[in-house]
Amino acid sequence: MTKAASAAAKDFAAAGVYGVHLAWADNNGIPRSRIVPVAGLADAATRGVGATSLFAVFDSHDAITYSHSGLSTPSGDIRLVPVVDRLRRLAGQPALAWAPVRQFTQDGDPWPYCQRSVLERQVAEASERGLEFRAGYELEFAVAPAGSSDVLTSPGHPGPAYSPHALVPLDGFVASLLHDFAANGLRIGQLHAEYGVAQIELSLGATDPVSAADDQLLARQTIHAAAHAHGLVVSFAPLVGLGAAGNGWHLHTSVRRKGQNLLEDPDSGYLAGLLRDLPALTAITAPSVPSTMRLRPGYFAGAYAFWGVENREAPLRYIAGSDHANVELKTSDASANPYLALAVVLAAGMAGLDDRPALPDPIGEDPGSWTAGERETRGVRPLPADTAEQDAALLASPRVAGVLGDDLLGAFRAVRASDAAWAADRTADEIVAAHLWRY
């Protein structure tokens, strides 16, 4: 690896790259990074660079909580080691390159709080069982002119939803996105003006799960840089305003055995596994206070635990087909750590393949339009509505909670509690505003 890092550093230096972002996402889905000069890349790839161990207990507002017993003092350092085969020069920031990191202890042991390693373990487990996953994120975000305090009062495009005309004022930005994504090695499936105020959606091509999470992080960096170059800012926050359509980061997955897509049959156990654990999954895939505010009926975001065939209100939307059959998890957003989100989805899906829980009939309507009595009769429950309910759902599923391991689970829960305490004496508008530009 050092050889590969030295070679990359040499090429970068010759091409006018001065530094490399060593990037990861914390337990709030917030990207963090350290830049090393290219001359330091090989050393970083060998020994790592130092960082505080407390990143695992940063909350969504950059406050550090000491309530998790494993990380209860300001002392301690970890090593961030770039994943060299994922190094990319950033097309939109040509003096910089980018690589995701793995986190290690000072002694070079795996750091139990390393989210990327948690996903790598699930992928290894899948491969031991002869399973191969494919995953891809769809990113919804809102655009505003640089300097805007929010999106709703200064929308970056006028709509109409899905209109080609809506994107005319953003032509240069759209062109940069298409160029920079390709140059950064990211595949865009589609891009369009979405339903929400000044909203754009961009889907990433499906790939292996770890690459899908890496890509999701790199996509954010790429979009932020392109927006900046065009005098814009983007909000990836789950909600940009009360009563407005949210930004879902829907997660598409499928799983193959011996090349056969098991999602061709919705009743293979995978979908049933996700449905069985959906409340606990959502505690990881849509974990912030604004996440729970986004999951309202009528907004295509998923508010009740059910599945449907191409039903856009369903948190689990089954998309039929042969090779491309997959399931879309809508209760997923930018405040999730992309590695942890995928790790728990894989684990719940694999448990479903093992246990084959009964799959109820799909629902074609919006259960939000039913009475509470109808929902009760048809066995459709609301998803956890706040942090406390999410926490209870998470603890009620050892299948999901166990994926994180005790240390990371403790830190993750401490961070959620810290966020909830922050939000307790704030209004809904204040909460939305404080998360707008965090991701």
Q: Which is nearer to Mg ion, 328 or 419 (CB)?
A: 328
Residues 96-155 that bind ligand GLU (CB under 6 A): 140
| Residues 259-278 as b or e (16 or more Cβ within 10 Å = b) | eebbbeebebbbbbbbbbbb
Site track 310-349 with ligand GLU (rule: CB under 6 A), x = hit: --x-----------------x-------------------
Enumerate binding residues for Mg ion (CB under 5 A).
201
Tell me the pairing of strands 307-309 and 316-319.
parallel
Q: Which is nearer to Mg ion, 201 or 214 (CB)?
A: 201
Q: Is 356 left (phi over 0), alpha (psi -120 to 50) or beta?
A: left
249 binds, among ligand GLU, Mg ion, none (CB under 5 to 8 A by kind): none
Number of helices (H) and strands (E) in the chain: give both, helices first: 13, 15
Residue 178 burial by Cβ neighbours in a 10 Å radius (0-12, 13-18, 19+): middle
To ligand GLU, the closest distance from the beta carbon of 299 in angstroms equals 6
Helix axes 278-285 and 398-424, enclosed angle (nearest 10): 50
CB 135 within 8 A of CB 209: yes
CB 287 within 8 A of CB 416: yes
User: How far is the C-alpha of 349 from the C-alpha of 355, rounded, in Å?
Assistant: 10
Tokens of 324: 């491309």
Pick from 156, 248, 290, 384 the residue near ligand GLU by CB under 6 A.
Answer: 248
Size of the site for ligand GLU (CB under 6 A): 12
Residues 368-387 that bind ligand GLU (CB under 6 A): none
Contact region with ligand GLU (CB under 6 A), list: 2-10, 203-211, 267-275, 297-305: 297-305
Pick from 45, 301, 350, 401 the residue near ligand GLU by CB under 6 A.
Answer: 301
To Mg ion, the closest distance from the beta carbon of 195 in angstroms equals 7
299 binds, among ligand GLU, Mg ion, none (CB under 5 to 8 A by kind): ligand GLU
Tokens of 325: 């059959």
356 interacts with ligand GLU by CB under 6 A: no
Instruction: Provide the strand spans (E) within 88-216.
Output: 88-89, 96-104, 131-145, 188-193, 199-204
Q: Which is nearer to ligand GLU, 224 or 294 (CB)?
A: 294
First to last CA, the chain: 31
Q: Which is nearer to Mg ion, 230 or 317 (CB)?
A: 317
312 binds, among ligand GLU, Mg ion, none (CB under 5 to 8 A by kind): ligand GLU
245 interacts with ligand GLU by CB under 6 A: yes
The residues that touch ligand GLU, with contacts defined as CB under 6 A, are 140, 195-196, 245-246, 248, 294, 299-301, 312, 330
